[in-house]
Amino acid sequence: MKFTNGYWLIRKEIDPIYAVEYGYHRIDGDTLYVYAPGMHIAGKGDTVNAPIITVAFTSPRENIIRTEITHFKGRVCKGPFFEVDRSGTEVEIIDEDEQLIYRSGKMEAVVSKAPGAWHVDYRYEGRTLTQSGYRNMARMANRETGRTYMTEQLALEVDEQIYGLGERFTPFVKNGQVVDMWNEDGGTASEIAYKNIPFYVSSKGYGIFVDNAGDISFEIASEKVECVQFSAEGESLAYYVIGGNEPKDAISGYTALTGRPALPPAWTFGLWLTTSFSTDYDEEIVTSFLDEMKDRDIPLRVFHFDSFWMHGYEWCNFAWNEDVFPDPKAMLERYHKRGLKLCVWINPFIAQNSKLFDEAAGNGYLIRRKDGSIWQTDMWQAGMGIVDFTNPDAEKWYQDKLEYLIDLGVDSFKPDFGERIPVKDIVYHDGSDPVKMHNYYSYLYNRAVFTLLERKMGKGRAAVFARSGTAGCQQFPVHWGGDCTANYLSMAETLRGGLSVGMGGFGFWSHDMSGFEQCATPDLYKRWSAFGLLSSHSRLHGGKSYRVPWLFDEESCDVLRYFVKLKCRLMPYLFEKAVESHEKGIPMLRAMVLEFPEDRACRYLDLQYMLGDSLLVAPVFRPDGEVEYYMPEGRWTHLLSGKTEQGGCWKKETYDYMSLPLFVRENYIIVTGNRDDVPDYDYTDGFTILVPEFEDGAEYRCLLPTVEGENAAVITAKREGSEITVDVSEKLNWNIRKIGAEPQRIEQAENRAVIILNE
């Protein structure tokens, strides 16, 4: 939201009140209140008829400082409010002659006391992260509308890049963009997003989380190119400054504050196949797909029934369409005996023709208008209402309907939608602000579904496939990127969205392999299959046509089979990274800047990524197989060919469908398993440690997980001179293989192996 015309002029309808200088302060426990007048105070008389901005500093956790700026504190401020961990920390408040210091761990806010020069410096380990200064912190009033806004501008340094703000499909670096926090169903080819998260990460290593669930507006080096500006309607605005030395620190701090991702069960990492959206299907057609996948030796772990498992015009009634599925319980049992997990599509809408509509309406379970009538629309489903998850009874009612399906044999749900939530003339059961509830609704919706699955299945065994989201939704994985189109441009924008949402702590992310809208060419299907199976989660899904590979060409079956089996073999490595995401909040699919924050070239890369910390992936986005990618410094070993290349430069190569740039990082190891038919198996039995190039003196440590996510062993690798020693902390069945340059020999004992290099 813009309030100025250039640097000097305020828009004619705007009356600003700026924090001009330090006035005085008060300390209340661990809170520091600083009062900043809206004008220079030269004498006592200047305190009359003069506004003031109150700035409150608190710290919910170590190395995080919350700043709240308020004009009129008597204004009603309705929820919802983001749930954050305020476990607390020791703070230090230092009052000096020229400045005030509010310190939490290594993080501090320093307030200048200089007359006429309002300034707050945010420092981490003594290093300035960002600042608020002259005409940055303000209250803006619009005379024409009567609305008031609080705004803050935080300084940027020369060559500082900003990332995040949700799953955005626009350029990965957000500098120069205007971003509004408003969930909408716009597909992947637009500036609007399904998952808006008011949190951004700086290339300098810090993060800013704006503590407001409403329609925050961000101007990222746009209205004022020296700053990131954010503003919201009202008389108060709060934000957290999360200290760190690199972007990983900021993401980890943010997820410690708003919640770490749950660990999805290992079976979710296998291949998902769906009916697609509007295709005709019944048990015979579904079974034919399953038989064909088995006959072609393409491992399938999850089958998903999309919208029309229910009768049209009746979404959601949570009842199987008996014309198509006359005995769903028996059908699900048959599919379970095949070794499949099963998922069904749901949404939070109750159509007027659903047998549940009157039940929900009569009990007050649907969102209402101010006159007491139910809010309804014909968009999507005729006469539909929307479940009011602010009503605990409505949430339980909704969960009860899903629980019946779980007891019938359903293992997971796809909670679709959650973005089309009305605002005008709306009243919620708990009195929430409809504007703030627009985005926050996705949190209540996804939480309701996920926590039910967790209660029924147990911790570590629950997973959804959700589309909408806001801050905190990362706790309820998995999320997918929404409606993309079957072309290379959309494949690339999908990746940008995944990298962007990963900067917001969403550890587990997927997308519609080969595109949702339209139908892919065989070429695109094969390239997208490789990308999809080198994502944390992998699903074949489409709109009006099936996405089974034999409908494209025979080679598509070969490519899909190859990469599904590769992913299954990689599961010991991938699941360790999943556990890391669960414990630290770092995404599995990582922008290059997360692993190489000091490499300036990596700051802008959005056509490649790191899968965990060890694997570089560069999908192919051209039908001729040519791919251009950047390889950071060091020696990199291609996982599939064993070829070793020197990094620190750009590469341009051509790959066939059975390969792509997939390189193991120098001084890191990859642990692979002994099965390629399922993703969930005993990773501790018969695993292989792949050792690429190591520098002399380099050491790497990783954990070998069990299929439940527990720590089974510690694996360390260290090079000293011409030997690389690999130790496994437990007595297990394992092998070792050197990839890249062939060694002179390998000597393996029970818990140790020594690789003697040819040097």
Provide the annotated active-site residues: 416, 419, 483
From the centroid of its chain, how far is CA 694?
32
DSSP 366: B
* DSSP string covering 525-549: HHHHHHHHTTSSSEEE--SSS---G
Q: Which 3 state secondary structure label does DSSP give 49?
A: coil
Query: Which residues, listed in sequence order, are joined to residue 414 by a DSSP beta bridge?
Result: 345
* DSSP string covering 145-206: T--EEEEEEEE--TT--EEESSS--S-SS-TT-EEE--B----SSSS-BSB--SEEEETTS-
Is 168 in contact with 193 (CB distance < 8 Å)?
Answer: yes
The span from the CA of 218 to the CA of 1, in Å, is 7
Token duo for residue 470: 């806001």
Token duo for residue 40: 């220079």
Q: How many CB atoms sit inside 10 A of residue 435's CB?
A: 18
Pairing between strand 120-124 and 107-112?
antiparallel
Please, is 213 exposed, middle or buried when counting C-beta atoms within 10 Å of its C-beta (0-12, 13-18, 19+)?
A: buried
In the block, tokens 């799953």 appear at: 167
Please, is 143 exposed, middle or buried when counting C-beta atoms within 10 Å of its C-beta (0-12, 13-18, 19+)?
A: exposed
Is 684 in contact with 674 (CB distance < 8 Å)?
Answer: no
Closest CA to 5 of 155, 223, 152, 178: 223
Query: Which residues, listed in sequence order, are joined to residue 107 by a DSSP beta bridge?
Result: 104, 124
User: What is the edge-to-edge ordering of all strands in the sheet holding 644-646?
Assistant: 589-590, 609-611, 615-617, 662-664, 635-638, 644-646
The span from the CA of 656 to the CA of 172, in Å, is 28
Q: Residue 111: which H helix or E strand, with range?
A: strand 107-112
Please, is 244 exposed, middle or buried when counting C-beta atoms within 10 Å of its C-beta (0-12, 13-18, 19+)?
A: buried
Close Cβ partners of 448 (under 8 Å, ≥ 6 residues apart): 389, 395, 398, 399
The span from the CA of 164 to the CA of 170, in Å, is 11
* DSSP string covering 9-38: EEPTTEEEEE--S--EEEEETTEEEEEEES
